[in-house]
């Protein structure tokens, strides 16, 4: 259930602005393929887990339900990981919408991630997804 909770974290963040951008979906796939937390996860299950999450989100009170499910499914040491994954998805397209910022706040509180730790994770995600500008663009 830990893998599912981590994936749910990324899916709800991707859906936060009602636009699951291709770049965000690509990042989710990349994360599942490369992050040590997913080493034991069957990658063929990713589409099904994402669909299950989408169904839950669409139900009455779905977002709150998903956040509670994530918290209940993860030990404390993985709650910061979940928050970091959410930040990565939010930062992946180069901008964080108001909806994404609000969801990050809900997740931080729901997962009981310390504010100082959350700020460091957020800054790391921003740094991670910065783009290098070419010399032509600077002029």
Asked if residues 82 and 4 have their Cβ atoms less than 8 Å apart, the reply is no
How many folded domains does the chain comprise?
Answer: 1
pLDDT in tens, 22-51: 777 788 899 999 999 999 999 999 989 988
Residue 46, domain extent: 2-138
Structure tokens at 22: 């291709």
Report the candidate in 47, 110, 79 with the shortest Cα–Cα distance to residue 55: 47
**Among 12-21, 44-53, 59-68, 80-89, the least confident range:** 12-21
With 0-12 CB in 10 A as exposed, 13-18 as middle and 19+ as buried, what is 106?
Answer: middle
Say if CB 116 and CB 79 are below 8 A apart: no
What SS3 class is residue 114? coil
Question: Whole-angstrom Cα distance, residue 78 to residue 33?
Answer: 18
Please tell me which residue, 111 or 59, carries the higher pLDDT value.
Answer: 111
Choose between 137 and 4: higher pLDDT: 4
Q: Which DSSP category does 93 fall into?
A: T
The enclosing domain of 115 has a CATH number of 1.10.3680
Q: Which tokens go with 49?
A: 């887990």
Mean pLDDT, the chain, whole residue set: 87
Structure tokens at 23: 């770049």
């Amino acid at each position: 259930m830990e893998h599912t909770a981590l994936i749910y974290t990324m899916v709800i963040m991707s859906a936060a602005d009602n636009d699951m951008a291709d770049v965000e979906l690509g990042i989710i796939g990349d994360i599942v393929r490369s992050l040590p937390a997913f080493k034991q996860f069957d990658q063929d299950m990713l589409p099904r887990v994402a669909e299950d999450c989408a169904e839950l989100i669409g139900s009455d009170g779905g977002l709150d339900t998903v956040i509670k499910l994530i918290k209940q499914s993860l030990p404390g040491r993985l709650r910061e990981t979940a928050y970091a994954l959410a930040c990565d998805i939010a930062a992946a397209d180069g901008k964080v919408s108001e909806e994404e910022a609000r969801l990050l706040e809900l997740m931080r509180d729901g997962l009981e991630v310390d504010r100082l730790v959350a700020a460091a994770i957020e800054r790391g995600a921003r740094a991670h997804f910065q783009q290098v500008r070419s010399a032509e663009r600077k002029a």
